[in-house]
Amino acid sequence: MDRHIRNIVIAGGGSAGWMAAAALSNALQKDCSITLIESEEIGTVGVGEATIPPILRFNKTLGIDEAEFVRATQGSFKLGIQFVNWGKLNHSYFHPFGSFGRDFDMAGVYHHWQAAFEAGQAGGLDDYCMAWSAAKRNRFAPPSGDPRHVLSTYDYAYHFDAGLYAAMLRRYAEAKGVKRLEGKIVDVGLNGETGFVETLTLDDGRSIAGELFIDCSGFRGLLIEGALKTGYQDWTHWLPCDRALAVPTTSSADFTPYTRSTAHQAGWQWRIPLQHRTGNGHVYASQYISDEDAAAVLMGHLDGEPLADPRPLRFTTGRRNRFWNRNVVAIGLSSGFMEPLESTSLYLIQSGIAKLLTLFPDRDFDPVLVDEFNRLTRVEFERIRDFIVLHYKLTQRDDSALWRYCAAMDIPDSLRETIEMFRRYGKIVHRELDLFGDPSWLAVHIGQMNFPQRNDPLLAYREADGVAWLAKFRSVIEAAAEGLPGHGEFIARAGMMAAR
């Protein structure tokens, strides 16, 4: 008997819904109907997105041309994130998409740097990062494909308008046969015996049947929680920020090829430069600051004229107990919420879709597939959680209640072990499904002054002249960065500037 799934229903649009629709319609090329239900009245959370490098792979898989994508989304480029006032006031560091230095000895570059830095013979860690050397000059070009060239030691991602991206993917998906229905879902019909979702009823009375349902309904979790009562793990005790205010401003002259995160008294502020505007927001903990004061902080730290009133958002950091329950798969905010400190929102959508396609079921919905999807997603969520909590835990700030709480709070055992291993020997712990690699962990550890108590014992046996190598590398990357075009210049020259 044919057990193939022939009818998929996506509940909700926005970035999650249309990314799912685009990817599924690209992968399932025949004999499967895909319907997406969304309501213009409900709208989406998207306030402008900063991303991480895996988004390039998602677009490439769909066959989307980069120049067309950047034009259509009013996009810009991103070499990493600058963190201001996180470790302590009046201090900043850079989390790059790329490496610090380049391996030249059996002992790692970082350990050579640590020895030289402690001896007063090297500058700060950022000085040996090609991505930062370009970013601090507001310069950008794609990395070289020649692994021998210093311009191959970094990667990049994008800033773009999330609404424009969803609209672009909608055009893509509809061209591949995805059917969009306008309407609000007012009822979810469950099978009385299996508890599986069978139908979605819209406000105009239409009943939409399906076999596999993708919940992209945002924080509401209309299917995964509203209908299936899956449950939620609250991580607010580790990530106490629970609200945000977002406001666009006119573009400033500082067209940075990087995101900036500035820590304030009770949270932090993002700055995301697009072609036509700059996205700004204040993520904060409501137990430590009022909404009115949070808005005043945001509006007092803008570098352009506001284009709208601040838009409020409320959230609870955490995850669903199960991301795939019966025949419902939660993708995007319906699966959980990770505050946007490291720009992982779209990545988690992309990763959820990829795991679904890897473990794609038939109508039997074998628990072996479902359980593995849930295990992998749980582990990935927890790895990202630990990395974000690291930023809060390693603060040396004691000027406000939030930062004193974060410095003293209990943290997951997995993160405690990671911090202690680095603090003792500068060793980075490798764990399954860790999205962030060694340079990322290194950037935050050192950027927030978690300096190792000892250096790698292996270094004492090595003959390489780390001081000379570091000086040469720094000179090379500075010269290479000077030769790159300006960020805006590259976008214009590459034909990526959107029409005004």
**By C-alpha distance, which of 185, 182, 179 is closest to 207?**
185
Q: How far is residue 151 from each of residues 104, 140, 141, 146, 436, measured CA to CA in Å?
A: 16, 11, 9, 8, 21
Task: Label the pairing between strands 185-190 and 232-234.
Answer: unpaired
Q: Give me the amino acid identity at 284.
A: Y
Neighbour order of strands in the sheet with 318-320: 232-234, 318-320, 336-337
Q: Give me the amino acid identity at 276.
A: H
Task: Provide φ and ψ at 90, rounded to 5°.
Answer: 60, 35
Catalytic site residue from 60, 78, 88, 472: 78
Instruction: State both tokens at 82.
Output: 């600058």
Q: Give me the amino acid identity at 95.
A: H
Q: Reply yes or no on whether 78 is catalytic.
A: yes
Tell me the HSE value of 444 on the side-chain side, using a 13 A CA sphere. Answer: 24
Instruction: State both tokens at 285.
Output: 């903990």
Find all residues with CB under 8 Å of 81, minimum gap 6, and list them: 50, 94, 95, 258, 259, 260, 261, 342, 343
The residues carrying an active-site annotation are: 78
